[in-house]
Chains A and B, each alone.
Chain A
């Protein structure tokens, strides 16, 4: 069974069935398919540069209350007291910028995010947060 079924399955079981069609026509990118090795983007990811895409993951707890992005992670960014400190992010995070106000959701909720895929190392001005890939103008749905 493919990951696609996983997502559809959760959506069917979950809450916002009405939101599903909005994503239906977008190409999707899985976390595991983003890089070929290390920080080298995969051919699939390179081909999606600049396009509206959908990704499935988790929203890390916001770095601070007034902020215009959230960090999309492959697995819940649990604050494991014995694993990582706060600055020790995984290598495959996706910075997800949004316009206007956005309601944050709990880090353990699986979400589907739509945004414009942007690549290349950039530093966020206000926070100094360095990212390799981003989703711009995002919105999300809890699955």
Chain B
């Protein structure tokens, strides 16, 4: 035994003597710039300490359709637009929100989600059915009779009941699935106005716009900024920005109803009205477009003028932070998803960059120590980054040449409008080989400016609208309880972390 102890001590001593020597020997690559940069990153990681405190405020950025390849491409695009190395560049949220996790987005009934149940997962903490908002799995899609008994209570509803301030922002219609999950409970995500209700739901299930105005929790949303004005206007009312368009409702002028309900509040519909809003605003309803707000790339040409998502975010914080108990704010970048559906990567990336700027503006406007800030996506898209472009190749550029001898772009889609197909009803047997080839062969991009904002990336499978995808998305976070975002998580955990952080967890 003695001999063994001596032997152990001897071997331990040998290790003790050996390890420091190894650590002190500089590896040959120690002066390599990548090596040094990674050492810096290591030090930054070591400096991140878990914040286990209580959050006064919660700000959730939900970027509709922000798949992980979209993050990568947006990062490179932002860097290249700034004239720096795109590949090693970082978006603001990648550096300011250090806690991350992969997020599983499947829903109760589908491998691949739409935005309704995923937003419900984030705002109410459960998995639910595609096409439904703010209801649990007992609901039946578009069956109004199942709605009343299946409603959830969102974190916004709990926050209002607890006396916090609340706000919702979206660049899509404010009645669209993601923002609707803050306040609406519906078995039909398309029931955005009363005309869209099926006959058997009329008078029994309220449309989404009406649910927003009639929302009865606390003193109501202090801030509502988004698009979707038509869903609040009667079909006899002309749109203030475009006299060729009208409202979409059969009954109720919901803007008038909102103004009557919040007689100290302000309704705005253009940039001028937005700019005039001050921090002492009690309640504000801002509806900046008849339908969705403009893509960031097109915002300057809007008739009435629209605030950017960053401007809406900072204005909302100014108004909400007057509440000493804190606030809960949702900011949705709603149109990354729409650009992807259209097969138009350039607009998806510029909208993603705009949300990143909004997140940075929010971080700078609050005390990050007492504010849980997170940024996530609701679902992915069939969008990919193909090999093998050289370093610093334009991210919207050409990556290489396929076996068909034709160039292909770095960015592309598995399906969507960018795929070629035969005309409907085409009789292939009556076509010449050349005609069939011309109808089906993808375009030659040799002389095409694929970096043009209107360029549509090619796709494999012809579909009217490019589809969502089922791969995991990411969540990035900082602030109280943000450290809980780690590893691979269920999407509905996001609600539970937010609720825990702000002290609203209504678990049994």
Which A residues are closer than 8 A to B by beta carbons?
1-3, 5-6, 8-10, 12-15, 31-32, 35-40, 74-76, 78-85, 88, 91, 105-108, 121, 130-132
Contact = CB atoms under 8 A, between A and B. Distances in A.
A9 B444 contact: yes
A98 B496 CA distance: 59
Interface in B210-269: 241-245
A106 B300 CA distance: 31
Contact of A88 (B291, B301, B454): B291
Interface stretch (B55-63, B136-144, B419-427, B481-489): B419-427
Nearest to B463: A78
A39 B290 CA distance: 14
Contact of A79 (B242, B416, B443, B464): B464
B465 A12 contact: no
Contacts of A38: 241-242, 301-304
B330 interface: no
Given A10-B443, A38-B242, A108-B419, A75 B341 contact: no
A6 B439 CA distance: 19
**Most chain A CB inside 10 Å of its own CB: which residue of B421, B454, B455, B466:** B454
Contacts of A35: 301
Interface residues of B, number: 50
Contacts of B303: 37-40
Given A39-B242, A80-B341, A107-B464, A9 B423 contact: no
B449 A6 contact: yes
Query: Which 8 A-B pairs give the minimum distances between C-beta atoms?
Result: A38-B303, A9-B447, A13-B444, A1-B449, A80-B465, A76-B417, A15-B438, A78-B464
Nearest to B448: A9
Nearest to B445: A9
25 contacts: A1-B447, A2-B449, A9-B445, A9-B447, A12-B444, A13-B444, A13-B445, A14-B443, A38-B241, A38-B242, A39-B242, A74-B454, A75-B342, A75-B344, A75-B456, A76-B342, A78-B342, A79-B465, A80-B464, A83-B337, A83-B338, A106-B424, A107-B464, A108-B418, A108-B421
Given A12-B444, A79-B465, A83-B292, A130 B342 contact: no
Contacts of B115: 82
A5 B244 contact: no
A6 B452 contact: yes
A98 to B, nearest CB: 17
Contacts of A84: 291-292
A82 B301 contact: no
Contact of A76 (B177, B291, B338, B456): B456
